[in-house]
Chains A and B, each alone.
Chain A
Amino acid sequence: MIVVTTDTVPGRHIVATIGLVRGSSVRAAHAGDDVTAYFKNLVGGEVEEYTKLLAESREQALDRMLAEAAARGANAVVGVRFVTCEIAGGCAEMLTYGTAVKLG
């Protein structure tokens, strides 16, 4: 599966547009990570607990989008975007969307 943020794939032709595909994920760190992160917040630097949390959420949302694209018979997703929103404090919310296409 080719996944790109551009609207086209150089050297390939889009033979069919399947439509919008998306995947979302909301994940939380456990209380231990939140406590550790709170103290890191006081001293500065990278808070790896939240770096990891955001990465987990990103990968899960991406996989859900790819699963939908595959289920609909696509072999590529173009124009992929990641967006985040505020649902709950201490959670990483990620929405990934793009256009599923068939490349020739």
Chain B
Amino acid sequence: MAYADGELAPDERAEFEQLLATREDLRRAVARERELDLVARSAAGPEPMDAEWAALGQDFAHRSGLGVGLALVLGGIALGLGSLLYLLWSASLPLAASVAVTALMLGGCVLLLRALRARVRTRRYDPYREVRR
């Protein structure tokens, strides 16, 4: 696609970009084209350790270790925060302190969810996540 390859004249490019702003299918097509371009650009001979990395990628213990480890870490954080909230509200602390800490934690969660939502929405148009090295 001429647009993805940067081959359009400035006026044609501006016209196409107006169309791009309103058409999701076109945005996806451009992202796919750029993904292919990036793959072609990074075409290089394999390194000696690449075969070992590929074998590790197929290895069950190696693959599941990542998921299990992250799930435990995230679960621990969630449980810890939940316990902290419980202790905070069951102890006889000043109300202002309990509200402040709860607001801090809830605010953090809201900001995290906001960032996560933005990432999910833009991820499908981000061809750079396929770049390896």
Contacts and interface: CB of A to CB of B under 8 A. Distances in A.
Interface in B27-74: 34, 38, 41-42, 53, 66, 69-70, 73
Interface residues of B, number: 20
A32 B128 contact: no
Contacts of B41: 59
Given A52-B131, A52-B132, A59 B10 contact: no
Contacts of B42: 55, 59
Q: Is the interface of A mostly helix, strand, loop or mixed?
A: helix
B10 A51 contact: no
25 contacts: A32-B70, A35-B69, A35-B70, A35-B73, A36-B66, A48-B133, A52-B131, A52-B132, A55-B131, A55-B132, A56-B129, A56-B131, A57-B128, A59-B38, A59-B42, A60-B128, A67-B6, A69-B6, A70-B6, A70-B8, A71-B10, A71-B13, A72-B10, A73-B9, A73-B10
Interface of B: 6-10, 13, 34, 38, 41-42, 53, 66, 69-70, 73, 128-129, 131-133
Interface of A: 1, 27, 32, 35-36, 48, 51-52, 55-57, 59-60, 63, 66-67, 69-73
